[in-house]
Amino acid sequence: MKIEFREATKDNVTVTVIDIVGDLDARTAPDFKDQLKEVVESGKVNLIINLEQVSYMDSAGLGVLVSGLKNANRANGDLKIVGMQTDVRNIFELTRLNQVFSIFDSEDDALASFA
């Protein structure tokens, strides 16, 4: 799995965008969880997770995202998700996490929601 961090700004609001390429599963989740926690602890609490390049996610991957959302919320921030492929979206719907997360089709829409 490859993870890239970048900044995006709209209407004077800067958000950290995290692009994930590859599977988010039990093998890759622990490392991503540590990186996500470091980002929030560094003060970057408004996050967009881009899942366009993630074709597979298991419960460990879901757990990391839930943990990231909790950490961001505790720091008065938020974590939003964009670009889900059909199989990943189905997992969110089956677990009803689509009712917990703010999910957007595009990065622009997610970015605008922070303003």
- Which residue, chain included where needed, has tokens 């997770």? 49
- Total of domains in the chain: 1
Q: pLDDT at position 45, please?
A: 96
Rounded alpha-carbon distances, angstroms, from residue 8 to 64, 70, 89, 112: 22, 22, 24, 11
Q: pLDDT at position 115, please?
A: 79
Q: pLDDT at position 12, please?
A: 86
Q: pLDDT at position 100, please?
A: 97
In this structure, the dihedral spanned by the alpha carbons of residues 63, 65, 70 and 73, taken in order and rounded to 10 degrees, is -170
pTM of the model: 0.95
The answer to whether the CB of 97 falls within 8 A of the CB of 68 is no
Q: pLDDT at position 56, please?
A: 96
Q: What is the CATH number of the domain that holds 98?
A: 3.30.750.24
- pLDDT tens string, the chain, 115 residues long: the values are 999 999 999 888 899 999 999 999 999 999 999 999 999 999 999 999 999 999 999 999 999 999 999 999 999 999 999 999 999 999 999 999 999 999 999 999 999 999 7
**Domain encompassing residue 41:** 2-112
